[in-house]
Amino acid sequence: MSSHANHDDRLTLELTTNPGLEAIVRAELTEHLAAAGLDTAAYEFPERTDKGRVPVRIAARETELRPLALRLRSIHHAIRQVAAFPLVGDDPLEIIRTRLAALALPGLDTSTTFRVSSVRSGEHEFTSMDVQAAAGAGIQAGTGAPVDLRHYDVHVEVDVVGERCLVGVRWSNHPLSRRFARPFERRVAIAANVAYALLRLATTGQAPRSVLDPCCGTGTILLEAGCIHPATRLVGVDSDARCVEGAARNLAAYGLAERGRTLVGDARELDTIADAAEAPFDAIVTNPPFGRRLGRHIDFRRFYRELLVSARKLIAPDGRLVLLADRRGLFNTACREAGGWHIRDVRIVELGGIHPGIYVLTPT
């Protein structure tokens, strides 16, 4: 990648993710930029307080940067920022319409089609649909370009964060976190970018020889592990036989059947499953039930304690256990009661309005 672009010509990207994963995004992007030959003087991460958004200014050509950004696994969208302006006045929607009418959007003219998407955060007297309508009217007034919600050439992002409006062009038309089209689906499943974050926190510099997910569900964590670690052995356990069979189908669909096994079993009794003889595991990574839609009648203090005792029997001495826990107080208590674990890190992440902790544990 060329790094000789003038700093005044830097592109600004907005990388969107789950609030709480911003540091993971910055670290992953930094690794990709270094691998592409871009030194740290060629980019910067401006200070911002917007949760779930990682801005970065980079001195590089769009043709070089775009494919790199679209390979990121920790994000939902990569957006080239075009403008940012305050929404101060009696009619914020009219401000949006007026500013968009005067704005030059990359790649958009009378011969191209577009659509507008919008995400809002904060309290407003208008909806995201209102923002889309105002922005769309402004773009049409300024360019004459037609709207096409399905077969569009340019995807314009107009987000409202508090009293600021951020305008950009999406490089990713579909969320990068929805990268696995699977034969078997369930309504409740972890997003692939969150699975990537868990796996990243579970590694200490080199790919794990083995990954165990004791609550594997549809197999998202195993799929992600198989994609980023080409030689890692994958083992999934779930108490629901339909999930076990479905996760096996999903692994097979991505060519991971030879490296992956899925078994019916209880996460609290892992030493009784067939693969216990293959222990120890370098990484145990999982997303246990939260009790919101699944597992509503679980005694979570007991469940967490028994899961931790069970996982301790199968973890390698230098391995890591990384999991999501919605009942953080109960998990902390269960961890003390179970013994045998040291909590190295806790990161709070937002998942659809829920704020579980990502716990990183090592055996003592």
**118-166: per-residue pLDDT in tens?**
999 999 999 999 999 999 999 999 999 999 999 999 999 999 999 999 9
Residue 337: its H or E element: helix 328-338
* Rounded Cα distance, 69 and 52, in Å: 16
Give the tens place of pLDDT for each residue, 42-59: 999 998 878 999 999 999
> pLDDT tens, 188-240?
889 999 999 999 999 988 999 999 999 999 999 999 999 999 999 999 999 99
Cα separations in angstroms, 156 against 82, 105, 126, 315, 358? 10, 8, 19, 47, 33
- In the predicted model, is pLDDT for residue 356 greater than 50? yes
Distance CA 78, CA 231 (A): 29
Ordered alpha helix ranges (H), 113-214 = 128-143, 192-202
Give the three-class secondary structure for 319.
strand
pLDDT of 292 over the 90 cut: no
What residue ranges define each of the domains in the chain, with the CATH number in brackets?
A: 7-170 (3.30.2130.30), 192-363 (3.40.50.150)
Helices (H), 122-271: 128-143, 192-202, 220-228, 241-253
